Each structure stands twice: as C-alpha cells, then as structure tokens.
C-alpha cells in the first residue's frame, strides 16, 4: 500500500515544479557554497605558502650574511642592524610566523576564519602587537556573513523543507481530496507521515550526494576525513529531520497553508536570528570583554614606566639570573639591547593579568552560549559545522594560546644571547625555535555535542508523535472547514 | 458630491480596518514580540554607546597626556613614540551600531608608518554574534516589514473570501479606493502604534545620554526616521499589491515572506561572495610586504633608498653652497627624515588608495545587490546616516593619516631648524621638550555631515524610492482591475 503512495507521490512530485525546483536549488546552493568555501581556503593556503617562503628566504639571507662575516668579509652596514647581534634578529629581522593551516574540511564553513587572525608575526619585543594583529577584510562581508555550506544547512535547508512541506495536509483540503483520504481505509496520519518521510529521504540524499561529490571534487581525501564527514552528515540529517517533524506537527493542526507557512517561518526566524542575538546580548552583557582601547593605554603606561626604570630592571635581572652574566665583559646599563629587552619583559609581566582577562571573558561568553544553545538547534549545528571545518572558536583560541607560548620560547632563545652579550653564529640560525601548530585531539564527540544531538532526536520524535496524535483525531468535518 | 462620498467611504474603510487590527489576536502577539525585541535592542544600543564612547574619549585624552609627558627627547624619538587616534562612537549608534563591531577603532600614528585602523570589537565576542545583532535599526528595517506583511497579505482575499468584496465593488467604491483606504489604515496603525512611539523612545534615550550631542544629530535622526517611514510605505504598498494580485491569502503570504527572506538573508551573503570574488581583498601579509618593498626600492622598483639619500645630499649641499654635511646650518637628518616621509606618502597613498578602491568596488557590487532587496537598501542607508558604515570609517582613516603627517612634519622641521645650532649636539643628539610637543594639538575627529552619508548612499536611496514607486504603481494598476 505505502509503496503505491510513495510511487504516486513521486509521480505527482515529478510533475510539480516546486519539488524539482526546490531540490535543484538545494543542489545548486550547496555546490556554489562549496566553491565559495574552497576559494576562501585556497586563498588562506596561498597566503600561508607565501609567508612560509618569505620566512625561509629571510632566514637564508641572514644565515649567509653571518657566514660571510665568519669567513672574513667585514660587515659594512649600520652596526645596529648587524646580523650577528641577537637583538635585531629576535626583535625584527628574524621574525617567525605562527600560522594556522586550514583544516582539510575548511571549505565547509568560514566560521571565524575570516575574522580571527590565522597568522601572527612573532618577534621577541612586541607581545602586544599579537593582540592587534588582524587580517584585512571588508567589514561589510564580515558583517553579512558568507555563502558557505554551513549557511546552506543552517538557514536555507529549513526554508527548502518548509517550502516542500508547509501545505501537505492543507493542500489536500484545498484541492478537495482530504475528505476522500479521511474516509479511506488507510490511516491518514501514516499517509501524511510517509509523504514527509519520502521528502526527507530525497532531500537528505540529494544533499549528501552533492556534498560528498563537491568535497571530493575540491580535492579533499574523503576517506581520511570520513569520520568528520560522517558526523557532519549525521548532524545535517538530524537537523533536517527536526524541521520536517516540526512541519509535520504544524501541518497536523489542520490550519490553512498560509498559517502553516507563517508559523514555520516564525519558528525559523526565532531559531536563526532572535535566539542567537538574545544570546549574544546576554553573553556580552554578563561577561563583557575588556576593552582593547584600554589595553593600548595600559601597554603604553607600562612601557613608559619600565623605560624609566631600565637601569634598575637590568641590574635586578642579572641578580635573578647570574647565569646570564656576560663573560669577561662589563655590564653596560646604557646598552640598548639589554635595556630594551628587560623593559619588554617587565611590560609583558605587568600586562599579563589584563591579557588573561581577554581569553577568560571570551571563554566565559562561549561557555554561556554552550549551556544555552539547546534553545536553538541552529546555533548547535552552526558551531558543530565550524568545528568540523576547523574554523570554530575552539581551534582559533587554541592557536592563539600556542602562539603566546611560542612567543615565550622564541624570546627565551634570544634572552640568553642578548644578556650574555653573545653574537649569533651561522649555526645558531638552525636553532631558533620555529612555530608548528599542534593539532589537538578531536573534540567533536564530546558530551555536550552528543547531548545536543540527542535533544534534536527527542524533539523530532516528539513532533512526529504530536503530529500522529493530531492527525488521528482529524474528523471528516474538518475536511470541509 | 462624489468626492464627499469617496471621502466618506475611505473614512469608513479606515475605521473598519483599524478596528479589525485592534481585535486581531495575531496582531497583538506580533506587536508584543516587536516591542520586546525593540526594548532589548534599544538597551543593547544604549549599553554599547555608554560603555564604548567614554572609553574612547578617555583613551584619546590619555594618549595625548602621554605624548605631552614624554620629557626631553630627540624629536624623531618623539615621532616614533607618536600617539593614538580613537574613532569616536556616534550618538546614533544607539539606534544602529551598523558594522561598528567589524570595523577597527584605533590607529597608532607613528613615524614612517601608516598603520591600519585596527582592533575590531568582534574579535572578543562569542562566535554566536555572527548570527547578527539586534539593533533598533534592525527592528525597523527587518522585523517591522514582517508585521506589515501580516497586516496586508490578506487585505483583498479576506474581503473576497467573506463575500464583502463583491458588495464593496458594486457600490460606489473603486478598487483603487478600497486599496487606498486599506493602505492608509495600515500606515496609520503602524505609525501610531509602532513607529512613532519607538522613535520617541529612541529619541528620549539619545537625549538623556547624548545631551548636546543630540542637538547636533537631530537633523540626521530626522532623516533616519523619514527613511523608516518610507520603508513602511514601501512594504504597505508591496503587501497590498501582492494581496491584490494573488487570489489566495496563503499564496500571497508566501510570496511576501519569500521576497522578505530572499532580500534579508540570501542577497547579502550572495552579494558578499560575488563582491570578494570579483574584487579580491589582499591579505594583510601581502599588503605589508608590498609597502615594505616599495619603501625600500621605490614605487617603480628602481629608486632605492640609498640612491635617494645620495641624491638628496647632493641637492642640499648645492642649495646651501657648502661641501660637507657638517657645514650645513641646518640638520641634514631632519631634512632627510622629512624627505623619507614624503617618499613614503607616495607609497602609502598608492597602496591604501588601491585597498580603498577595492573596498569601494566591493561596496558597489553590494549596493547593486541591494537593488534586489529593499530591506538591505534601508539597512545600508540607516548605518550610513548613523555613521557606522565603511565610508565613514574610511573618512576617519584618511583624517587620522593627515594628522599623522602634520605630527611628522612638525617634528622633522623642528629638527632641521634646531638640530644644527649646537655643534656638539647635532641631529640625533639634539633634544626637544614639551614646548615642541605642545605644538601638536590634541587629535579631535569631526565626523562628516549629513550630505556625506546621503551622497554615498545614492544607490540605496534610489533602490528604496524605486521599490516604493513600483509598489505604489502596482497598487493602482491592480486596484483598477480588481475583480470580486
């Protein structure tokens, strides 16, 4: 029996343009979104490749300049810029870049990758500059958001589902076929549900095929990314099921098509817009980030204060670190390199509490969102897609933290040389620490994510049962209401 | 006689519609939700302004005090120290903070470098903020149209379904009159029950926080409010036109919601992707590399810094008729630094010029896309009027850079003039004090006026008015051929 319904429904759907058009649009949007995401990831990879080759070239040039001096060629340039001096190397010329390579599935979601820095220029004298690093971007595109797969899933997929299903029951009444169906010997609820199931299967299938084909076409190794892809499909399918179930429940109230559409669109608006913006306002009001503007003023105050005390700081530094006393040389309190570096270290120390507050407050905001995102499955799906794409908050926060600890290591390397008043040898250039992002273990299947998926499933089941109960109670009179 | 009848009928239609709206449960729900969101938006805007603006003001003053308190220094060291310019938050940000969170707020004005205006607030916000932010402008431009859709989508079909349309059209009422009456009722209801109270509340909050600053932005706020009224007219006309064109209420609602969703969610992202594909933004890395290389090698790559220095030296020696730099009555270091700055201006003007041109080209694509979407045109106009858009940001950037150049010139000229007076403390040995620092006034940014915003928004204004006229035309056209 149901086979017949599905077969006839399929024939009917094939002949109606809405269905074909909606599914075609979904395929088209997904393909375009993948192309757009791939373009963005490619741009970032190209930029990082350029950074890498620039850094290598700069290091090769410095090393060969030092080798020339070692082989007896006298250095003729400005003495402050002598490549044998550790200070100008660590402070500027030997800058290392901390870079975050886009994850294999970056093309799926822009996430925060267009907003947060994915590379930092690290020197030993300007920790504060790390806070002010940012990529150039047109604010309008940051504000509007991007056309990526996450957008197609979170925003457009529900709309397509609504377009495909808002009038499944009401259309029967409006065409006058409802009375016939209600009086026939099959259960009406089952019939309607099978129509929903059928659409759900087609939509999920088309999406999965286009997505996997597109990602494969973009050159991603599907097998290597299989666990992320499986999770992604699972989340998308759950999200689609949630919307179909919601639509089924709304349909089962037997209202007319217009009311159904308005109601579903209202829920959509609530989930993709109203709840997220209320969450934003709540998070920024309860856990406001410290002001970057105040950070600037305080940095300047701290460095002015440190500069006034350089002589003191320097002698204190040597008291604390007698192992770094220069051998066979006098300590010169006016020596620019030692004075500046000890002042910088003092500034780093005094700004630490304020800087820690930045990460603490964003962390607090983020965890507040985490606790309340169950209010909107759209927020959960967006965040999960970001994490799958490696463009979410977590990975960027991790990258920034790794950059700061790299700064420490990088500075530490030069501290010994500067304070002992040693010179750089050509062999030393091989020893200068280089940054490599350490990918942390996947946090995709952590408890909160599983809970949110379970919640989606529960909501889906609840809506389906509601729909079944309501349709079972549908009376023949309603067919003529 | 006939005008009297038609006025009479119009009044009756309006009265009847208003009564319907007041008793409609759905309308009451929609209004309550709208007011709730409005209150939240106004609070959030007020909070944004009252926490951010005083901070920027205080930081601007602190930065200047730090500049004055530098003590005795060589003018070039002072130029390196420099100071910061902070972008003031306009009072109208209370109603529309626009793109402020995605635009930088501060720039370091130092020697040899035109820095970018950086420090986007969005960096320190949770990722969920990317879903969009709730502002009074958003309530007016995005959510209010939804209420209007609710009030208009079945304007004609409900009369048809209840059989009253036939009666109405068979009396002295024409289709146009019927639609005009309904339109007037919707406008009246929306303006009295929503727009005017919300504008008054926003105005009151701005007066109480801004005081005298509000007087200065009163004209702009008036234009901003006018734009809201135009958008109400636009959506009312659009709603009635669709309602008169589509036979079933359901279909009419779906068409209107489709237009809204397409314009509010689809067009902006599509436009952004097209804009950045057609006119790619350079990476900060590539941008800085180009500047560094052009500063060293010259814009054409054939005029190295060394060559330029030699040329300058020969010219200055000749000008003063002496053989060596030590014989100069002025400081060559000062002259050379200023010459360096002026060479760099060419590099900065070229590169920042290109960057801003790229942004402007992207902006054009977005504005063309806005033609497809009256909501976006209204949004774009609103943030331009509020002074929280990209054009205003660029104006600030240019203004701060002009000020930086004044600082550099003042420092270098002082060094040129006084850096050779004491032969034992020439050039970089010469020290200046706060007499010189005080020659630089505090940085004060004056935002451009109303004309600037309107001039930049011609396409958005054209789009808004175009949509309104087309919708009004459709109302008249469909009204004439209205059949029961």
**Looking at the partner chain, which of B119, B272, B359 has a beta carbon nearest the beta carbon of A144?**
B272
**Looking at the partner chain, which of A112, A135, A284 has a beta carbon nearest the beta carbon of B127?**
A112
* Contact criterion met (CB < 8 Å) for B124 and A358: yes
Per cent of chain A over pLDDT 70 is 95
**Looking at the partner chain, which of B44, B131, B282 has a beta carbon nearest the beta carbon of A273?**
B131
Nearest-5° angle of CA B35, CA B36, CA B39?
Answer: 85
Residue with tokens 């279909």: B251
For the ranges A118-127, A218-227, B319-328, the lowest mean pLDDT is seen at B319-328
What mean pLDDT do residues A124-131 have?
A: 83
pLDDT confidence of residue A60: 95
pLDDT confidence of residue B248: 81
What mean pLDDT do residues B35-44 have?
A: 96
Per cent of chain A over pLDDT 90 is 56
Q: What does the pLDDT look like over B380-398, one tens digit per residue?
A: 999 999 999 999 999 999 9
Greatest mean pLDDT among A178-182, A264-268, B331-335 lies in A264-268
Instruction: Report how far Cα A118 is from the mean position of its chain's Cα atoms.
Output: 11
Which class for A359: exposed (0-12), middle (13-18), buried (19 or more C-beta within 10 A)?
middle
Report the residue of A116, A293, A336 to disrupt the B interface, i.e. the one with the largest count of B CBs within 10 Å.
A293
Chain B contact for A147, CB < 8 A? yes
pLDDT confidence of residue B3: 58
**Looking at the partner chain, which of B119, B129, B393 has a beta carbon nearest the beta carbon of A280?**
B129
What mean pLDDT do residues A376-400 have?
A: 94
Report the residue of B49, B110, B119, B130 to disrupt the A interface, i.e. the one with the largest count of A CBs within 10 Å.
B130
For the ranges A120-134, A331-345, A443-457, B74-88, the lowest mean pLDDT is seen at A331-345
Q: What does the pLDDT look like over B432-455, one tens digit per residue?
A: 889 999 999 999 999 999 999 999
Q: How many CB atoms lie within 10 A of CB A260?
A: 26
With 60 as the cut, is the pLDDT of residue A111 above it? yes
With 80 as the cut, is the pLDDT of residue B6 above it? no
Between the alpha carbon of residue B403 and those of residues A136, B82, B134, B394, the distances in Å are: 23, 11, 35, 14
Residue A460: DSSP 8-state: H
* Contact criterion met (CB < 8 Å) for B362 and A141: yes
Q: What does the pLDDT look like over B86-141, one tens digit per residue?
A: 999 999 999 999 999 999 999 999 999 998 888 898 988 889 999 998 999 999 99
Instruction: Give A302's contacts in chain B (Cβ within 8 Å).
Output: none
* Contact criterion met (CB < 8 Å) for B366 and A140: yes
CA A65 – CA A67 distance, rounded (Å)? 5
Enumerate residues 266 to 285 of chain B having a beta carbon within 8 A of any beta carbon in chain A: 266, 268-273, 275-277, 280-285
Minimum distance, in Å, between the CA of residue B244 and any CA atom of chain A: 16
**Looking at the partner chain, which of B47, B250, B281 has a beta carbon nearest the beta carbon of A137?**
B281
With 50 as the cut, is the pLDDT of residue A187 above it? yes
Q: Please report which confidence band the pLDDT of residue B409 belongs to, taking 50, 70 and 90 as the band edges.
A: very high
Greatest mean pLDDT among A305-309, A438-442, B332-336 lies in B332-336
Q: How many CB atoms lie within 10 A of CB A400?
A: 20
Residue B108: DSSP 8-state: E
* Contact criterion met (CB < 8 Å) for B118 and A383: no
Q: What would the two tokens of residue A441 be?
A: 């273990």
Which class for B329: exposed (0-12), middle (13-18), buried (19 or more C-beta within 10 A)?
exposed
Q: What is the mean pLDDT of chain B?
A: 91
Chain B contact for A140, CB < 8 A? yes
Could you tell me if B393 and A139 are in contact, meaning their C-beta atoms sit under 8 angstroms apart?
yes
Q: What would the two tokens of residue B479 be?
A: 């009204």
pLDDT confidence of residue A477: 58
Q: What does the pLDDT look like over B351-360, one tens digit per residue?
A: 999 999 999 9
Chain B contact for A107, CB < 8 A? no
Could you tell me if B53 and B88 are in contact, meaning their C-beta atoms sit under 8 angstroms apart?
yes
* Contact criterion met (CB < 8 Å) for B250 and A261: yes
Q: What is the DSSP string of B361-407?
A: HHHHHHHHHHTT-HHHHHHHHHHHHHT-SHHHHHHHHHHHHHHHHHH
With 90 as the cut, is the pLDDT of residue A17 above it? no
Could you tell me if A201 and A210 are in contact, meaning their C-beta atoms sit under 8 angstroms apart?
no
Residue with tokens 């594909």: B277
Instruction: Give B58's contacts in chain A (Cβ within 8 Å).
Output: 297
Domain ranges of chain B: 2-480
Inter-chain Cβ pairs, chain A and chain B, closer than 8 A: 228
pLDDT confidence of residue A116: 94
Minimum distance, in Å, between the CA of residue A204 and any CA atom of chain B: 21
Q: Which residue has the higher pLDDT, A179 or A343?
A: A343
**Looking at the partner chain, which of B119, B257, B261 has a beta carbon nearest the beta carbon of A292?**
B119
For the ranges A202-216, B390-404, B412-426, the lowest mean pLDDT is seen at B412-426
Instruction: Give A116's contacts in chain B (Cβ within 8 Å).
Output: 123
Q: What does the pLDDT look like over B153-180, one tens digit per residue?
A: 988 888 887 888 888 777 777 888 889 9
- pTM confidence score: 0.92
Q: What is the mean pLDDT of chain A?
A: 88
**Looking at the partner chain, which of B86, B119, B124 has a beta carbon nearest the beta carbon of A362?**
B124
Chain A, nearest residue to B45 by Cα: A281
Could you tell me if B461 and B384 are in contact, meaning their C-beta atoms sit under 8 angstroms apart?
no
Beta strand B106-110 with A119-122 is: unpaired
Enumerate residues 75 to 94 of chain B having a beta carbon within 8 A of any beta carbon in chain A: 84, 86
With 80 as the cut, is the pLDDT of residue A234 above it? yes
Instruction: Report how far Cα B79 is from the mean position of its chain's Cα atoms.
Output: 32
| CA distance from start to end of chain A | 28
Q: Which residue has the higher pLDDT, A68 or A168?
A: A68
Could you tell me if A393 and A283 are in contact, meaning their C-beta atoms sit under 8 angstroms apart?
no
What mean pLDDT do residues B3-21 have?
A: 82
Three-state secondary-structure class, residue A97: strand
* Contact criterion met (CB < 8 Å) for A155 and B265: yes
* Contact criterion met (CB < 8 Å) for A293 and B59: yes
CA-nearest of A105, A31, A152, A112 to A388 is A105
**Looking at the partner chain, which of A43, A136, A365 has a beta carbon nearest the beta carbon of B126?**
A365
For the ranges A252-256, A339-343, B166-170, B275-279, the lowest mean pLDDT is seen at B166-170
* Contact criterion met (CB < 8 Å) for B126 and A115: no
pLDDT confidence of residue A8: 67
Enumerate residues 124 to 143 of chain B having a beta carbon within 8 A of any beta carbon in chain A: 124-134
Instruction: Give B283's contacts in chain A (Cβ within 8 Å).
Output: 43, 47, 50, 135-136
What mean pLDDT do residues A99-127 have?
A: 94
Q: Which residues pair with A120 in a beta bridge?
A: A98
Enumerate residues 313 to 352 of chain B having a beta carbon within 8 A of any beta carbon in chain A: none
Report the residue of A18, A30, A116, A138 to disrupt the B interface, i.e. the one with the largest count of B CBs within 10 Å.
A138
Chain A contact for B248, CB < 8 A? yes
Could you tell me if A471 and A181 are in contact, meaning their C-beta atoms sit under 8 angstroms apart?
no
Enumerate residues 22 to 41 of chain A having a beta carbon within 8 A of any beta carbon in chain B: 36, 39
Report the residue of B250, B306, B377, B396 to disrupt the A interface, i.e. the one with the largest count of A CBs within 10 Å.
B250
Domain ranges of chain A: 2-22+149-266+459-480, 35-146+286-430
Chain A contact for B369, CB < 8 A? no
For the ranges A205-219, A341-355, B256-270, B384-398, the lowest mean pLDDT is seen at A341-355
pLDDT confidence of residue B207: 93
CA A24 – CA A388 distance, rounded (Å)? 26
Number of Cα atoms under 13 Å in the Cβ half of residue A471: 27
pLDDT confidence of residue B1: 41
Rg (CA), chain B: 30
* Contact criterion met (CB < 8 Å) for B102 and A115: yes
Number of Cα atoms under 13 Å in the Cβ half of residue B415: 27
């Amino acid at each position: 029996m149901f086979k017949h319904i599905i077969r006839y429904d399929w024939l009917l759907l094939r002949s109606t343009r809405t269905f074909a058009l909606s599914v075609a649009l979904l395929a088209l949007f997904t393909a375009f979104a993948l192309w757009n995401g791939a373009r963005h990831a490619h741009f970032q990879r190209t930029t990082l490749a350029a950074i890498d080759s620039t850094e290598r070239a700069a290091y090769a040039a410095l090393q060969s300049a030092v080798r020339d001096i070692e082989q007896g060629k006298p250095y003729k340039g400005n003495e402050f810029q002598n490549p044998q001096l550790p200070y100008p190397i660590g402070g500027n010329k030997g800058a290392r870049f901390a870079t975050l390579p886009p994850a294999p599935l970056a093309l799926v979601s822009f996430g925060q990758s267009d907003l947060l820095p994915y590379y930092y220029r690290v020197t030993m004298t300007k920790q504060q500059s790390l806070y002010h690093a940012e990529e150039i971007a047109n604010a309008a595109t940051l504000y509007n958001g991007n056309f990526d797969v996450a957008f197609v899933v979170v925003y457009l997929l529900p709309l397509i589902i609504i377009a495909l299903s808002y009038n499944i029951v009401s259309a029967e009444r409006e065409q006058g076929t409802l009375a016939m169906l209600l009086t026939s010997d099959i259960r009406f609820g089952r019939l309607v549900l099978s129509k929903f199931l059928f659409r759900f299967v087609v939509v999920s299938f088309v999406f999965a095929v286009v997505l996997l084909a597109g990602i494969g076409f973009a050159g991603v190794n599907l097998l290597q990314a299989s666990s992320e892809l499986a999770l992604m499909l699972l989340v998308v399918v759950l999200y689609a099921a949630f919307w179909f179930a919601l639509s089924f429940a709304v349909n089962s109230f037997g209202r007319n098509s217009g009311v159904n559409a308005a109601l579903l669109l209202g829920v959509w608006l609530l989930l993709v817009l109203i709840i997220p913006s209320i969450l934003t306002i709540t998070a920024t009001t309860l856990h406001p980030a410290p002001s970057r503007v105040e950070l600037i003023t305080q940095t300047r105050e701290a460095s002015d204060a440190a500069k006034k005390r350089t002589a003191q700081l320097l002698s204190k530094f040597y008291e604390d670190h007698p192992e770094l006393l220069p051998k066979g040389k006098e300590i010169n309190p006016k020596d620019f390199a030692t004075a500046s570096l000890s002042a910088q270290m003092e500034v780093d120390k005094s700004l630490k509490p304020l800087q820690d507050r930045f990460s603490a407050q964003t962390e607090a905001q983020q965890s507040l969102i985490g606790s309340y995102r169950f209010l909107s499955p759209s927020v959960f799906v967006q965040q999960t897609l970001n994490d799958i794409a490696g463009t979410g908050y977590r990975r960027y926060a991790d990258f920034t933290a790794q950059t700061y600890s790299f700064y420490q290591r990088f500075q530490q390397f030069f501290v010994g040389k500067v304070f002992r008043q040693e010179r750089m040898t050509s062999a030393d250039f091989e020893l200068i620490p280089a940054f490599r992002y350490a990918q942390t273990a996947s946090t995709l299947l952590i408890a909160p994510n599983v809970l949110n998926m379970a919640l989606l499933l529960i909501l889906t089941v609840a809506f389906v049962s509601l729909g079944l109960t309501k349709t079972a109670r549908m009376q023949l009179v309603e067919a003529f209401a | 006689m006939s005008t009297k009848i038609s006025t009479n009928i119009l009044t009756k239609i309006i009265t009847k519609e208003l009564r319907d709206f007041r008793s409609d449960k759905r309308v009451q729900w929609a209004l309550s939700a709208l007011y709730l969101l409005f209150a939240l938006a106004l609070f959030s805007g007020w909070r944004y302004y009252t926490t951010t603006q005083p901070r920027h003001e205080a930081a601007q003053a602190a930065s200047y005090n730090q500049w004055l308190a530098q003590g005795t220094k060589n003018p070039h060291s002072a130029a390196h120290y420099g100071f910061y310019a902070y972008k003031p938050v306009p009072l109208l940000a209370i109603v529309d903070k626009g793109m402020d969170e995605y635009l930088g707020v501060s720039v370091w004005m130092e020697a040899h470098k035109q820095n970018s205006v950086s420090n986007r607030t969005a960096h320190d916000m949770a990722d969920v903020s990317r879903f969009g932010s709730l502002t009074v402008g958003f309530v007016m431009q995005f959510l209010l149209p939804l209420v209007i859709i609710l009030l208009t989508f079945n304007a004609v079909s409900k009369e048809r379904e209840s059989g009253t349309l036939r009666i109405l059209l068979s009396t002295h009422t024409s289709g146009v009159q019927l639609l005009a009456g309904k339109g007037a009722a919707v406008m009246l209801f929306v303006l009295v029950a929503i727009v005017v109270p919300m504008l008054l509340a926003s105005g009151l909050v701005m007066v109480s926080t801004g005081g005298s600053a509000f007087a200065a932005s009163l004209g702009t706020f008036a234009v901003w409010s006018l734009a809201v009224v135009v958008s109400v007219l636009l959506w009312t006309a659009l709603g009635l036109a669709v309602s008169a064109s589509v036979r079933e209420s359901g279909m009419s609602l779906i068409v209107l919601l489709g237009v809204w969703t397409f314009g509010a969610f689809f067009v902006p992202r599509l436009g952004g992707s097209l804009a950045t594909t057609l006119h790619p933004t350079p990476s900060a890395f590539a941008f800085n590399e180009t500047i560094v290389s052009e500063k060293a090698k010259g814009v054409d790559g054939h005029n190295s810094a060394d060559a330029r220095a030699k040329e300058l030296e020969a010219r200055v020696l000749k000008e003063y008729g002496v053989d060596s730099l030590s014989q100069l009555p002025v400081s060559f270091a000062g002259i050379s630094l200023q010459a360096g700055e002026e060479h760099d201006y060419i590099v900065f003007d070229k590169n920042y010029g290109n960057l801003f041109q790229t942004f402007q080209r992207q902006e054009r694509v977005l504005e063309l896309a806005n033609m497809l979407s009256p909501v976006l045109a209204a949004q774009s106009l609103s943030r331009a009027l509020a002074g929280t858009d990209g054009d205003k940001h660029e104006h600030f950037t240019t203004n701060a850079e002009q000020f930086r150049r004044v600082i550099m010139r003042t420092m270098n000229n002082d060094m040129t003039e006084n850096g050779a007076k004491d032969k034992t403390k020439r050039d970089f040995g010469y020290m200046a004090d706060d007499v010189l620092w005080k020659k630089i006034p505090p940085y004060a940014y004056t935002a451009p006026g109303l004309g600037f915003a309107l001039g930049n928004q011609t396409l958005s204004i054209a789009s808004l008015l175009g949509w309104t006229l087309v919708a009004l035309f459709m109302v008249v056209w469909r009204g004439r051929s209205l059949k029961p």
